[in-house]
Amino acid sequence: AQKVTQAQTEISVVEKEDVTLDCVYETRDTTYYLFWYKQPPSGELVFLIRRNSFDEQNEISGRYSWNFQKSTSSFNFTITASQVVDSAVYFCALSDWGGATNKLIFGTGTLLAVQP
Amino acid sequence: DAGVTQSPTHLIKTRGQQVTLRCSPKSGHDTVSWYQQALGQGPQFIFQYYEEEERQRGNFPDRFSGHQFPNYSSELNVNALLLGDSALYLCASSFPGQSSYNSPLHFGNGTRLTVT
């Protein structure tokens, strides 16, 4: 069955520390996409990144970087030099091969608190 | 360019009542999905609408129904409300006819439903 596990329920760091959010997934599909979304207190899910199963290159966007390792079914997210504005719940998600649909399977999320 | 808009933002209902939630997709998007997010959990897929038809449905009872209008806006209806239906209901839209493999979902701020 499709499943996403985010074992870290809460992480607290002090500003400027680096932090890594873990994501482990299970899927039967050979073609799939993985996502990270950020959910601030306002409730809106903000798209951060999409990675397909054939592209294992790490990606960096400013202070954000992602490490996709198919061998361990992991797609971890690192924030470098964290800031208070990074405080939010972060969700990892897996696309469900439903043909033409956009169904996503979400993990339970990691609450990141960045203290000043 | 307006993003995904949902109304109302908050709603309080009594057990057994019926509720209708509304969603307007991002401009240019024609596919609308609904997700339920219980407190402390990740969003769970309810169903998706495309061309005014339900294209896929998650593991939700028939009490949950929906509709999509010709202008692509959508409604989520829940009948015979239970205490367990209390959650944040998120609407998401995406580009024409494409799956998550090509287009990430854009989410609204959600409707917080409380059932007493």
List pLDDT tens digits, range B52-74: 999 889 999 999 999 999 999 99
Whether residue A98 and residue B90 make contact (CB cut-off 8 A), yes or no, is no
Residues of chain A contacting B58 with CB distance shorter than 8 Å: 103
**Poorest-confidence range of A15-29, A87-101, B2-16, B84-98?**
A87-101
**Poorest-confidence range of A56-65, B46-55, B63-72, B78-87?**
A56-65
Query: Using the 8-state DSSP alphabet, how is residue B72 labeled?
Result: S
Average pLDDT, chain A: 91
Q: Report the distance separating Cα B80 and Cα B98, nearest Å.
A: 34
The tokens for A19 are 């932090």
Average pLDDT, chain B: 92
In total, the C-beta contacts within 8 angstroms joining chain A to chain B are: 80
Beta strands in B51-108 (DSSP E): 53-57, 64-68, 74-78, 87-94, 106-107
The tokens for B30 are 């024609």
Residues of chain B contacting A103 with CB distance shorter than 8 Å: 33, 45, 48, 56, 58, 100
